[in-house]
Structure 1
């Protein structure tokens, strides 16, 4: 397999997984990019927009748009930091209340996608991704 084929396949897989997740989240008016932000805030608590961007490897402009959408939906709020430019992003009470529904939809989507993918193969893939990601950072 050439490097091109490997990366092309990874890109195709990533797009397909994103599309599947978008379908699962559609009934809630959410997209995968929004879910990523909500999930990270749920796990890590309040973060600055810069920290979110860096953690999720997302450029500032698309992160700003995603956060603005989530603010409009009432799922996150922005809290001014010490510096005028710094804003902390955190989940609203509404998001905390709705989160289990979103998480359930994502879990069902993930389980359907994994289907007949053996647990040992899942663990191997996770290990490979972790090693590769560490090398990139």
Structure 2
């Protein structure tokens, strides 16, 4: 299916812009939201786990976590050893997650309007498979 990636990217950029606009009202960005979302989904999380999931360098996650700590959204808790940094959502972080999740759900419904449920479900099922294949492909080169 030639041109698929171009079509995907033509959707990705405007979506990230919309998300940043929405998150800006909470003084957050999409990159900060990704950390909040990961910790909400996985509970107490190490910075290494978060950076591995998003396939980004640990210093990138460290900076995001520091900003979220300053905003009292995340707190650092003791890890297995002193070198491991583990974070969890604060009560404020939990409340903020729920508020933003509701706004993002509204955006999702808006973006999906007019698209039949079968097509929505197909997209929802295939996107994680793309991610898995992309990550698998990246490991072959190492």
* TM-score, reference length from structure 2: 0.84
Q: Which residue of 2 aligns with 1:12?
A: 10
Unaligned runs of 5+ in 1: none
Does the 8 Å contact 1:37/1:52 carry over to 2?
yes
The Cα offsets for residues 29-79 of structure 1, whole Å up to 9 and x where unpaired, read as 111111121112112100100001112222222212211111111100112
Where does 1:105-124 land on structure 2 (aligned, <5 Å)? 105-124=103-122
Cα RMSD of the aligned pairs, angstroms, is 1.7
In structure 1, the residue matched to 2:140 is none
Structure 2: give runs of 5+ residues left out of the alignment. 137-142
Shift of 1:82: 2.7
Deviation at 1:101, TM superposition (A): 1.1
Q: How many residues align?
A: 135
Deviation at 1:8, TM superposition (A): 2.6
Is the 1:49–1:87 Cα contact (8 Å) retained in structure 2? yes
1:57 paired to 2:55: yes
Q: TM-score, normalized by length of structure 1? A: 0.87
The structure with higher relative contact order (CA 8 Å, sep 6+) is 1
Quote the Cα distance in structure 2 between the aligned partners of 1:131 and 1:96: 29
